[in-house]
Chain A
Amino acid sequence: MAVSTDSKFSHKAWLQTPRKKGGIEGCQYPLLADFTKKTSADYGVLQESSGVAVRGLFLIEPEGIVEAIQINNLPIGRNVDEAVRLLDAFQENKKHGVVCPIGWAKGKEAINPATAAAWFEKHAK
C-alpha cells in the first residue's frame, strides 16, 4: 500500500486520472492519506523542510516486524522487481529456514545453514 501526505480527495482525483495524463487510473492497492504527517515522521521518511515523505519502502512480515527498508531521496524512483525479490527471499527464509545470499532470486538454490559447505562447493566460482 502507498502513503503520501496528500489528502484522500487528492488521492481519489489522481486515481481517476488516466495514466497517459500522469494519473494512476486502475491502481488496485490502497492509497493512504497521512495528512497530519505523523506516520511519515514515525517511519523516518518525513522531509521537514517541504513536509512531504521521501521515497521509503518497508517490507513488513505477518507479525508486524520490519524485514527490509529502502529509502531514496526525492528524485529517484524504486524498483518493483527488487521489492518482489526481497519479498520472495524473506518468505523463502520463513518457510524453509534457508538464507538467501547476494543476488538470490526465486528459483535459485538458497543456503541451508546446516549444510552451507555443500552450497559453496556447488556454487562458488
Chain B
Amino acid sequence: MSVRVGEKAPEFTLDGVVKGDFKTVSLKDYRGKWLVLFFYPLDFTFV
C-alpha cells in the first residue's frame, strides 16, 4: 500500500463539484482541518 498511517497524505489538486459549482480543490486547502477523504468506483452507484 502506498499510504500508511502516521505518514503524510499524498498531495493532490483535482477538479470537481462543490455545492453545485465546478471548482478546483487541493488537499492543502484543508490544512488546519480534519478531513475524511474517500474513494468510490463510479457515479450512479452506491457509496
Give chain A's interface residues, CB within 8 Å of chain B. 1-6, 8, 10-15, 17, 22-24, 28, 30-35, 38-45, 47, 50, 52-69, 71, 74, 77-78, 83, 87, 90-91
The main secondary structure of chain B at its interface with chain A is: loop
Partner of A2, one of B2, B12, B32, B47: B47
Q: Is the CB of A3 within 8 A of B34?
A: no
User: Interface size bucket, B side?
Assistant: 35 or more
Q: Is the CB of B36 within 8 A of A83?
A: yes
The main secondary structure of chain A at its interface with chain B is: mixed
Give chain B's interface residues, CB within 8 Å of chain A. 1-10, 12, 14-20, 22-23, 25, 27, 30-44, 46-47
11 further contact pairs, Cβ within 8 A, besides A3-B37, A35-B15: A1-B38, A24-B47, A28-B19, A30-B25, A32-B16, A33-B16, A45-B39, A57-B39, A59-B34, A62-B34, A63-B31
Which A residues lie within 8 Å of B33 (CB)?
62
